[in-house]
């Protein structure tokens, strides 16, 4: 038997240490939590992304009684893909709020979102940088694949 260790490199920033572009994305994601429809979970997820062509998109989770809603990350990335097919996503920021307040700790996408974002990344000429934002702390990941180390890479 052999053993492997899987590690993920995460850069940890205070919000105040972010570049202007990163602050813009985090701020857009925070604002997008207000567009969330989350009467069942009261967990409002907002996402913002920028494409290689400089266009920005936001998304917010949308729930329903059948639990067949969509997460904020996928609503943003699918909207971008529908509007600009084939234009790579450069960077994606994700955050959440509860009771009108941004959650304290950075939030990570669910497994379904990780795989969906990975689909866009594998078709791009570069990784998609991910910003996971809490109230004061932001995690930066070089690639969505780092959140899903045993992901489906080829089909």
Catalytic residues: 73
DSSP secondary structure of 28-82? HHHHHGGG-B-TTT--EEEEEEEETTS-EEEEE-B--TTS--B-HHHHHHHHHHH
Q: Which of 36, 86, 34, 81 is nearest to 57 (CA)?
A: 81
d(CA 37, CA 21): 27
Scored b (16 or more CB within 10 A) or e, 5-27 reads: eeeeeeeebebeebeeebbebbb
Determine which helix (DSSP H) or strand (DSSP E) holds 112, and give its type and residue range. helix 111-122
Hey, which residues does 130 pair with through a beta bridge? Answer: 92, 141
Bridge pairing between strands 44-51 and 137-141: unpaired
């Amino acid at each position: 038997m052999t053993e492997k260790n899987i590690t993920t490199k995460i850069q940890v920033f205070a919000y105040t240490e972010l570049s202007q572009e990163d602050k813009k994305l985090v701020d857009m994601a925070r604002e997008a939590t207000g567009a969330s429809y989350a009467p069942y979970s009261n967990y409002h997820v907002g996402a913002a992304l920028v494409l290689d062509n400089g266009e920005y998109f936001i998304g917010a989770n949308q729930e329903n009684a059948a639990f067949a809603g969509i997460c904020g990350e996928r609503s943003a990335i699918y909207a971008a893909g529908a509007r600009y097919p084939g234009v790579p996503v450069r960077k994606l920021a994700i955050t959440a709020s509860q009771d009108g307040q941004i959650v304290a700790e950075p939030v990570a996408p669910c497994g379904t979102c990780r795989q969906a974002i990975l689909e866009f990344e594998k078709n791009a000429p570069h990784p998609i940088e991910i910003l996971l934002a809490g109230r004061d702390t932001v995690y930066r990941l070089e690639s969505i694949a780092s959140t899903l180390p045993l992901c489906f890479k080829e089909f």
